[in-house]
Amino acid sequence: MGKKKLILIGGGGHCKSCIDVIESAGEFEIAGILDVKEKVGSNIGGYSIIATDEELDRFPAEDYYFLITIGQIKSAGIRKRIFEQLIVTKKRLATVISAHALVSKYSSVGAGTIVMHGAKINAAARVGDNCIINTNANVEHDCMIGDHVHVSTNAVLNGECNVGNGSFVGSNSVLVNGITIGEAVIIGAGAVVNRSLNTPGIYAGNPCRKIH
């Protein structure tokens, strides 16, 4: 059986990194990229932008898988909106795990999630749908990560942490063992989170504090 045909949604910088991961995994063949009308006809990493995300109906659900390759720094809103559109139209979502990631067979990774190069997901961890587990991120045992979450580069989630839907964990940040991050929480780069955070907002520093 040949590779599964994959449509990428979003043609920016994050897409470039995703392409490298998809190629390493070897399960999917990229059939094209969707982006804004002005970019149609251009090329990213050897793959063409073939249509806009408003033209999803051109790509039958039985013929293609889909992956959202738009990045997420603060709000998960755009990724969540497109994800919900894919679900409503019964499209198949790809789950992509880099050949250079370490993912325990005792963990689970949701639909539409990508696990980037060097990331680690350890035993009994659960990662939800439409997440980004970015380069060299470490998700330790028994962590529970909700949907539409971005765990950024080199972030460390120690054992038994919980991260709510739509949250962002910044580069090089550290969550100490057993804490809970609520929904729509943004953890700044390099922050040390030593207590549970239940109120949406932006947190930064060591130890972290709410700054917005």
Q: What per-residue confidence (pLDDT) applies to 75? A: 87
**65 and 7 in contact (C-beta within 8 Å)?**
yes
Examine the fold and report which residue of 53, 68, 94 is the final residue of a domain before the chain moves on.
94
**Statement to judge: residues 89 and 13 lie in one domain:** yes
Per-residue pLDDT tens for 81-104? 999 999 999 999 999 999 999 999
**Statement to judge: residues 145 and 185 lie in one domain:** yes
Per-residue pLDDT tens for 127-144? 999 999 999 999 999 999
Reported as a pLDDT band with limits 50, 70 and 90, residue 1 is low
Per-residue pLDDT tens for 155-205? 999 999 999 999 999 999 999 999 999 999 999 999 999 999 999 999 999
The number of beta carbons lying within 10 Å of the beta carbon of residue 105 is 6
**Statement to judge: residues 126 and 172 lie in one domain:** yes
Q: What per-residue confidence (pLDDT) applies to 164? A: 98
**Statement to judge: residues 113 and 197 lie in one domain:** yes
**Is the pLDDT assigned to residue 209 strictly greater than 80?**
yes
Q: What per-residue confidence (pLDDT) applies to 73? A: 82
The boundaries of the domain holding residue 36 are 4-94
**Statement to judge: residues 16 and 118 lie in one domain:** no
Structurally, the chain folds into a number of domains equal to: 2
Examine the fold and report which residue of 31, 59, 94 is the final residue of a domain before the chain moves on.
94
**Statement to judge: residues 106 and 194 lie in one domain:** yes
**Is the pLDDT assigned to residue 124 strictly greater than 80?**
yes
**Statement to judge: residues 117 and 79 lie in one domain:** no
Query: What's the CATH code of the domain at 59?
Result: 3.40.50.20
**Statement to judge: residues 59 and 39 lie in one domain:** yes
**Is the pLDDT assigned to residue 74 strictly greater than 80?**
no
**Statement to judge: residues 44 and 123 lie in one domain:** no
Q: What per-residue confidence (pLDDT) applies to 2? A: 83
141 tagged catalytic: yes
**Is the pLDDT assigned to residue 117 strictly greater than 90?**
yes
**Statement to judge: residues 24 and 49 lie in one domain:** yes
End-to-end CA distance of the chain: 51
Enter the pTM of the model.
0.96
Catalytic residue of the set 141, 148, 150, 212: 141
Q: What per-residue confidence (pLDDT) applies to 115? A: 98
Both structure tokens of 145: 């990560």
Enter the DSSP assignment of 82. Answer: H
How many Å apart are CA 152 and CA 150, to the nearest integer?
Answer: 6
Query: What's the CATH code of the domain at 125?
Result: 2.160.10.10
How many Å apart are CA 108 and CA 125, to the nearest integer?
Answer: 7
Per-residue pLDDT tens for 13-56? 999 999 999 999 999 999 999 999 999 999 999 999 999 988 99
Per-residue pLDDT tens for 3-16? 999 999 999 999 99
Share of the chain above pLDDT 70, in %: 100
**Statement to judge: residues 114 and 66 lie in one domain:** no
**Statement to judge: residues 90 and 181 lie in one domain:** no
Dihedral pair phi/psi, residue 189, rounded to 5°: -60, 135
Reported as a pLDDT band with limits 50, 70 and 90, residue 207 is very high
Examine the fold and report which residue of 62, 94, 126 is the final residue of a domain before the chain moves on.
94
